[in-house]
Chains A and B, each alone.
Chain A
Amino acid sequence: MSDNTQPNSEISLLQRIRMIYEDSDAKSQLFKTKLHTVITLVSLVIVVWALFTIAQFLVTAEWQVISDKRRAFMIGRYPEEHVWRIWPTVWMFAGLAGLSSALWLRPGRRMMISLFIAAAIVSYLFLEFDSNALKFGFGLLLGLCGYALGYFTYTKVSLNALVVRIAVLGWVLLIPVILVLLFIGDAPSTNYWGGLFVNIILAAIAIVVGTPLAVVLALGRTKEGYPIIRILSTTIIEVVRGAPLIAWLFMGRFVLPFILPSWFGLNEADVIIRTMIILIVFNAAYTAEVVRGGLQAIPKGQYEAANSVGFNGWQTLRLILLPQALRAVLPSLINQYIGLFKDTTLVYLISVVDVLEVGRKAFNELAYTGTALEVLVFVGFLFWIVTWSMSNLSKKVEENLGLGTR
């Protein structure tokens, strides 16, 4: 048997190919029976046809609009002299991402390669802005430095603890830093915000502010012995979940200015601020249901054990309930966030110019007539990159947490 599978010079090329084929997946999976063969051949024809169609589209399509409007896709009509407000966030994000991936994810080769491809695509998008290639390169460099820092301190216990603290602090500070940079000094009005930047900001704020709110709502809904709090949380959650996001966005446009209190000029807030409020509440209501699932999955013994060691309510929550609940529902949580990110495309309805709206405006221009499909495919690709990497990230985190295995 063994000398049969040993390739040697006496075996002809044809035989060798045949042997490789016998050992490969193709034999066991593609041509197992006659039916398998037929279905494989039929679907092969379909696959080839589909690939051909896609290739034809990619080749014949006019991608001029994409490269002309690159800047608009990213940041809309944000004034050029204020773009410096955005770069530090990109750098901070890159550094933190590099550091955290080394600390917590321990990426394999495949993940590194896909990250590299993503970086290459993004750098293509940025490269022809005058001096922005350098700025983007700086971001990449920071990411690499972060990764190296995380990588080399991984085994040094005391240093590692410090680095972990820095990383956590960085993530916590990211959103405040973004907001400070965007509003400090003579910042352009939020009416100038646009492009993918708006989608990311809206989703990030809704996630960061909405999740603690969701935890409060979920706790309120599951709290025993507090019927009024429970009714209140249930009402809020169910009413918000009752209407589609579009209806809430209209509400944010037409009704919210009249019912918001006049503190800090909140009733005259820009449409983006109102959108943020709507998205925060909307996300909180949906996330609360996810968190509630996790809270209800915790066995009663955990509460009792926490009680018996003398933990107070806050300690029980912080040390016993939330770690277990959030870990158990992490996949659904990430799914909820991905859904939210996709839902940020709806904000065009209240005239926020997000990336999809930038695209729509682009292909409605006279110069770019007939490029609708190209633009839509490109925007879809942008979304796909972000959401796909989010879901892969969640898979990786799940693996590292040992979900489903312990």
Chain B
Amino acid sequence: MNALTNFWYRSAYKRAIIQGAAILVVVFVGLGLAGQISNLENVHAPTFTSSPPFLTFDFLNARAGIALSHGLIFDIDSNDSRMDAILNGAWNTIRLASVLIGFASIMGLLVGIGRLSDFYLIRKACTLYVEILRNIPALLQIYIWYVVIWLTTPAITNAIQIDINFFGLELLQNFIIVSNKGFAIPWLVGHDNLGVWLFIGAVALVGAILLRRYLQKRQDDVGGNQRTNRYPILILLLISLVAYILLDSPFTGQTPHIIRSGAGGAIQNYQGGMVITGEFLAIVVALGFYTASFISEIVRGSILSLPAGQAEAAKALGLSAYQRLTLIILPQALRTMIPPLGNQYINMTKNTSIAVAIGFSDVVFATRTISNNAGHSLEIFTTLLVIYLVMALFISSVMNGLNWYVQRSGI
């Protein structure tokens, strides 16, 4: 007995045995899975799965047979490949997530500061906002906003068309069109020289940043005001001007209008401009407000975690409330804010998948449709996992970079 316990508690043996057992379990489960998957054909009807060999992705090159709505910039039709459809869905998710990150951050910052406000009613209103929105499922809020948008906008047959007139001068006709098919707003349409323009712009931007760094360094070394902002901006503008003279404009503005098609013009739809669909808007508003309630808690927590002396000292120096907030409180609060904020952004990006509930064509929608058409659910699920993983890794690397920068130098 004694020898046995001795053997067990000699930690090297213990570790080896436990970890060996873990490896065995993993191998066992893996083999079981492999066996299960290779038996698939015999077990079930072939509706959802494919024939072996498994985990091959050739089927993604076939014709998709679906077109995704809500497209912007990249548009696919049903003749494109399945991979294109999935990537287009991913692009829709990215678009949604980036708009949401901006909106929810601003909203969350405002509400978080509002909860610490000096003003009684503002403080209470912000508290009420957080307590209500945080406790209701996001899906439900998306439905509510979708219903509200659907109810308050007219049908496209009597869409609201907003013109911009200036003292009788008809500047822009059909500037914004509102109906339950979405909000159509003017948009820029790229010319053929857009690629050259983008290249020149990138070069000019890098040049301006390098110039600013150089000037900053010179200001530190030599002293005096080296105009660290003015010269880089001037350079950027100058290059743009030269490029404009040489290449002409890269965009033209385009206002939306309504076209009629079908028998007797029965079907009406938008053409031109950019259409923000009701679905997109509902998701942005709902998820934005929802996530803002969590972000506001992060903001509030990190402001409260600062020593009270910071605000008091700033007050004693005679800084105004706005100066105290932007120069003293927020830059310091940002240090504790960024890691949980990154988590929240990742969560929100994953939450955008709820958008399938009201038919927004995001990546989950695309993969689900393709999986319904083509089977291969395991492969498609793996693709989906990888796509979300890449997004999460991107966000967390950006936030880590930001964190590193803020920890090092402050804002």
Please list the residues of chain A having a beta carbon within 8 angstroms of any beta carbon in chain B.
25, 29-30, 32, 36, 39-40, 43-44, 47, 225-229, 232, 239, 242-247, 250-251, 254-255, 257-261, 267, 338, 342-343, 345-346, 348-349, 356, 360, 372-373, 376-377, 379-380, 383-384, 387-388, 391
Given known contacts A39-B122, A47-B125, A247-B385, A383 and B135 CB-to-CB distance under 8 angstroms: yes
**B381 & A39 in contact (Cβ 8 Å cutoff):** no
- Chain A residues with CB under 8 A of B53: none
**A380 & B144 in contact (Cβ 8 Å cutoff):** yes
Given known contacts A376-B144, A383-B136, A258 and B384 CB-to-CB distance under 8 angstroms: no
- Between A and B, 20 residue pairs with Cβ closer than 8 Å are A25-B120, A29-B120, A40-B119, A228-B19, A229-B19, A239-B385, A242-B392, A244-B351, A244-B364, A245-B350, A246-B354, A246-B356, A258-B37, A258-B49, A338-B135, A342-B137, A345-B140, A373-B151, A376-B144, A383-B136
Complex-state Cα separation, A261 to B40, whole angstroms: 12
| 8 Å CB contact of A254 from B19, B48, B119 | B48
**B364 & A246 in contact (Cβ 8 Å cutoff):** yes
- Chain A residues with CB under 8 A of B384: 243, 247
**B22 & A40 in contact (Cβ 8 Å cutoff):** no
**B135 & A373 in contact (Cβ 8 Å cutoff):** no
- Chain A residues with CB under 8 A of B140: 345, 356, 376, 379-380, 383
Residue of A225, A243, A348, A373 ringed by the most chain B CB atoms within 10 A = A243
Please list the residues of chain B having a beta carbon within 8 angstroms of any beta carbon in chain A.
11, 15, 18-19, 22-23, 26, 32-33, 36-37, 40, 43-44, 48-49, 118-122, 125, 131-132, 135-141, 143-144, 147-148, 151, 350-351, 353-354, 356-357, 364, 368, 371, 377-378, 381, 384-385, 388-389, 392
Complex-state Cα separation, A15 to B387, whole angstroms: 70
Q: Nearest CB to that of A33 among chain B residues? A: B118
A39 to chain B, nearest CB (A): 5
Q: Nearest CB to that of A341 among chain B residues? A: B137
A interface SS class:
helix
Given known contacts A242-B388, A244-B351, A247-B384, A345 and B147 CB-to-CB distance under 8 angstroms: no
Q: Nearest CB to that of A228 among chain B residues? A: B19
**A250 & B368 in contact (Cβ 8 Å cutoff):** yes
Complex-state Cα separation, A261 to B132, whole angstroms: 43
**A254 & B356 in contact (Cβ 8 Å cutoff):** no
- Chain B residues with CB under 8 A of A261: 32, 36
- Chain A residues with CB under 8 A of B364: 244, 246-247, 250
B389 to chain A, nearest CB (A): 5
| 8 Å CB contact of B121 from A30, A254, A257, A387 | A30
- Chain B residues with CB under 8 A of A43: 119, 121-122, 125
**B135 & A47 in contact (Cβ 8 Å cutoff):** no
A43 to chain B, nearest CB (A): 4
- Chain A residues with CB under 8 A of B26: 232
B105 to chain A, nearest CB (A): 20
Complex-state Cα separation, A377 to B136, whole angstroms: 10
- Chain B residues with CB under 8 A of A257: 44
A213 to chain B, nearest CB (A): 15
Complex-state Cα separation, A267 to B43, whole angstroms: 10
**A383 & B137 in contact (Cβ 8 Å cutoff):** yes
Complex-state Cα separation, A345 to B141, whole angstroms: 11
Complex-state Cα separation, A43 to B36, whole angstroms: 63
- Chain A residues with CB under 8 A of B351: 244
A57 to chain B, nearest CB (A): 11
Having A43-B119, A247-B364, A254-B377, one finds 14 other A-B pairs with CB under 8 Å, namely: A40-B119, A43-B122, A226-B15, A250-B368, A251-B381, A254-B371, A259-B33, A356-B137, A373-B144, A373-B147, A376-B144, A383-B140, A384-B136, A388-B131
Complex-state Cα separation, A232 to B18, whole angstroms: 13
**B385 & A243 in contact (Cβ 8 Å cutoff):** yes
B281 to chain A, nearest CB (A): 17
Given known contacts A43-B121, A44-B121, A342 and B354 CB-to-CB distance under 8 angstroms: no
**A225 & B11 in contact (Cβ 8 Å cutoff):** yes
Q: Nearest CB to that of B117 among chain A residues? A: A39
Given known contacts A40-B120, A229-B18, A258-B49, A244 and B139 CB-to-CB distance under 8 angstroms: no
Complex-state Cα separation, A287 to B183, whole angstroms: 41
B400 to chain A, nearest CB (A): 15
Residue of B37, B136, B350, B377 ringed by the most chain A CB atoms within 10 A = B136
**B147 & A372 in contact (Cβ 8 Å cutoff):** yes
Q: Can you list the 10 inter-chain pairs with the closest CB atoms, starting with the nearest?
A: A244-B350, A29-B120, A387-B135, A342-B137, A254-B377, A244-B353, A228-B19, A43-B121, A246-B353, A345-B137
Complex-state Cα separation, A13 to B310, whole angstroms: 45
Complex-state Cα separation, A245 to B368, whole angstroms: 14
Complex-state Cα separation, A338 to B384, whole angstroms: 26
- Chain B residues with CB under 8 A of A243: 350, 384-385, 388-389
| 8 Å CB contact of A228 from B22, B125, B132 | B22
Given known contacts A247-B364, A255-B378, A342-B136, A225 and B15 CB-to-CB distance under 8 angstroms: yes
Complex-state Cα separation, A181 to B149, whole angstroms: 44
| 8 Å CB contact of B353 from A232, A247, A258, A360 | A247
| 8 Å CB contact of A258 from B44, B118, B388 | B44
- Chain B residues with CB under 8 A of A343: 137
- Chain A residues with CB under 8 A of B18: 226, 229
- Chain B residues with CB under 8 A of A40: 119-121
Q: Nearest CB to that of A260 among chain B residues? A: B36
**B354 & A226 in contact (Cβ 8 Å cutoff):** no
A116 to chain B, nearest CB (A): 20
Complex-state Cα separation, A43 to B119, whole angstroms: 10
B111 to chain A, nearest CB (A): 14
- Chain B residues with CB under 8 A of A244: 350-351, 353, 364, 388
**B144 & A258 in contact (Cβ 8 Å cutoff):** no
Complex-state Cα separation, A349 to B354, whole angstroms: 10
- Chain A residues with CB under 8 A of B132: 384
Complex-state Cα separation, A346 to B356, whole angstroms: 11
- Chain B residues with CB under 8 A of A227: 19
**B388 & A247 in contact (Cβ 8 Å cutoff):** yes
**B36 & A259 in contact (Cβ 8 Å cutoff):** yes
| 8 Å CB contact of B136 from A251, A258, A348, A380 | A380
Residue of B132, B140, B364, B378 ringed by the most chain A CB atoms within 10 A = B140
| 8 Å CB contact of A388 from B36, B43, B135 | B135
- Chain B residues with CB under 8 A of A349: 356-357
